[in-house]
Amino acid sequence: MIGKKNRLARIINPKTKRSLILAMDHGMVLGPTKGIENPKETIELLKEWSDALIINKGILSTSYIPDGQTGIVLRISGGPTIAGGDLSQEGITTSIEEALRVSADAVIVNVYVGFETERSTLLMLSKIADECHKYGLPLVGSTAVGKDKEKSFDPKYIKLSTRVVAEFGADLIKTYYTETKFDEVVACCPVPILIAGGPHLDSDEQVFKIVHESIQKGAAGIAMGRNIWQNNNAVGMIKALHGIIHKGYSVEDAIQEYKK
């Protein structure tokens, strides 16, 4: 379908077939967390190296200056915040009609495979997949971190959940890198996989290593937030990651780019 292909081409670079998505949807759970206190400033600082942004509708309407270039992945699931209880109790926060009205190039929905809300979040994603299909709107399925954090990063779990999310109709998947068996995760999933970063890691080199390895093992790129905009040299960090994803940088090349 031409509509879906064209929208996907605004998220995944058609030349490199890879993507650097800057995730900036954290405010819906964490509030004004470090690095995105002023979302407009963060977007303006980093969008030059971002193929697309993951943002909520309120940040899109207040803090994004249309440039006709940066793809928009609209976050459409959510509900709970860190002030409340179970973060996995998500629902749909906006309609596909609204997503199209604000010119989203894709929408993103969280699922919690293996947790109490497994059934409800998977059915939610599946229904959204049908809605998206009607309009040629790509759907990103995101395997979110449940209460049992160890399980959420286990290769066996990631292999299961990414496949399940693809079975229910996602066009792209955002998940976590697993140090072992990531090549199996990619091989068993019929749609491209992007990796998230999780909380800010201790060393920059570790971020470069994870991203570099994931690309070598078949990931299509990253959908990453905190390890970029919470870095003291956020521009250096995103330029280095852009190099790994789109220009074939080694970890050493990325370190040099970061230091420039």
User: What residues are annotated to the active site?
Assistant: 174
Point out which residues pair with 18 in neighbouring strands: 13
Q: Output DSSP code: residue 189.
A: -
- Alpha-carbon distance 20 to 213, whole Å? 15
Q: Which is nearer to ligand 5RP, 221 or 225 (CB)?
A: 225
- The amino acid at residue 176 is Y
Work out the number of other CB atoms within 10 angstroms of the CB of residue 140.
29
User: What gap in Å lies between CA 25 and CA 233, rounded to an integer?
Assistant: 20
Residue 226 token pair = 């905190």
Q: Where in 230-259 is the site for ligand 5RP (CB under 6 A)?
A: none
193 binds ligand 5RP, rule: CB under 6 A: no
Residue 29 binds to ligand 5RP (criterion: CB under 6 A): yes
Shortest reach from residue 233's CB to ligand 5RP, in Å: 17
| Distance (Å, whole) CA 151 – CA 132 | 30
Q: Give the tokens for residue 211.
A: 């991203």
Residue among 4, 22, 25, 219 that touches ligand 5RP (CB under 6 A): 25
Q: Is 196 in the site for ligand 5RP (CB under 6 A)?
A: yes
- For β-strands 77-78 and 91-92, DSSP reports them as antiparallel
Residues near 101 by Cβ (< 8 Å), separated by ≥ 6? none
To ligand 5RP, the closest distance from the beta carbon of 169 in angstroms equals 19
Residue with smaller CB distance to ligand 5RP, 136 or 153:
153
Stretch that binds ligand 5RP, among 19-27, 127-135, 162-170, 231-239 (CB under 6 A): 19-27
Binding residues for ligand 5RP, total number by CB under 6 A: 14
**Which of 23, 99, 140, 185 touches ligand 5RP by CB under 6 A?**
23
Of residues 49-88, which lie at the interface with ligand 5RP (CB under 6 A)? 54
* Residue 47 to residue 39: CA distance in whole angstroms: 11
Which amino acid makes up residue 237? M
173 binds ligand 5RP (CB under 6 A): no
Residues that bind ligand 5RP (CB under 6 A): 23, 25-26, 29, 54, 142, 196-198, 223-227
